[in-house]
């Protein structure tokens, strides 16, 4: 409707075309849905391409964020392990010092 193509809403609804299905449509499928105007199909295909590009960017951003989170988790885990080893060493040294006395 935001593209001024509301005349196709009823057919898209009747065919249960949702966002996921819409992204799978090509020119021939749009034509089969009753979109006979080449200009209208071009508008939809252009918008679908923009949406796909946006979705891909969002997916890549999400992957990047997940990788950063994983890197931070690993770093924190390494720091905890180092602290644990340091604490163990200090306890061991203290025990040895007591035994020597």
User: Where in the sequence is the domain holding 56, given as residue range(s)?
Assistant: 7-82
* CATH assignment at residue 34: 1.10.150.50
Question: Per the domain annotation, does 62 fall within a domain?
Answer: yes
For residue range 39-93, list pLDDT tens digits in order: 999 999 999 999 999 999 999 999 999 999 999 999 999 998 888 887 777 766 6
Is 99 among the domain residues? no
Is residue 60 in a domain?
yes
- The pTM of this model reads 0.63
Between 98 and 67, name the one with better pLDDT: 67
Residue 91 maps to a domain: no
CA 52 from centre of chain = 12
43 domain residue, yes or no:
yes
CA distances for 30 relative to 20, 42, 79, 101, angstroms? 14, 10, 56, 89
Position 90 in a domain: no
pLDDT at 90: 72
Highest mean pLDDT of the ranges 27-31, 61-65, 93-97: 61-65
């Amino acid at each position: 409707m935001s593209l001024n193509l509301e005349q196709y809403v009823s057919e898209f609804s009747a065919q249960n075309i949702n966002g996921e299905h819409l992204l799978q449509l090509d020119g021939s499928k749009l034509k089969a849905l009753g979109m006979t105007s080449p200009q209208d199909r071009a508008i939809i295909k252009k918008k679908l391409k923009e949406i796909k590009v946006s979705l891909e960017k969002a997916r890549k951003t999400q992957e990047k964020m997940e990788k950063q989170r994983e890197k931070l988790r690993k770093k924190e885990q390494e720091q905890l392990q180092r602290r644990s080893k340091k604490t163990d060493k200090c306890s061991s040294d203290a025990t040895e010092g007591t035994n020597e006395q």
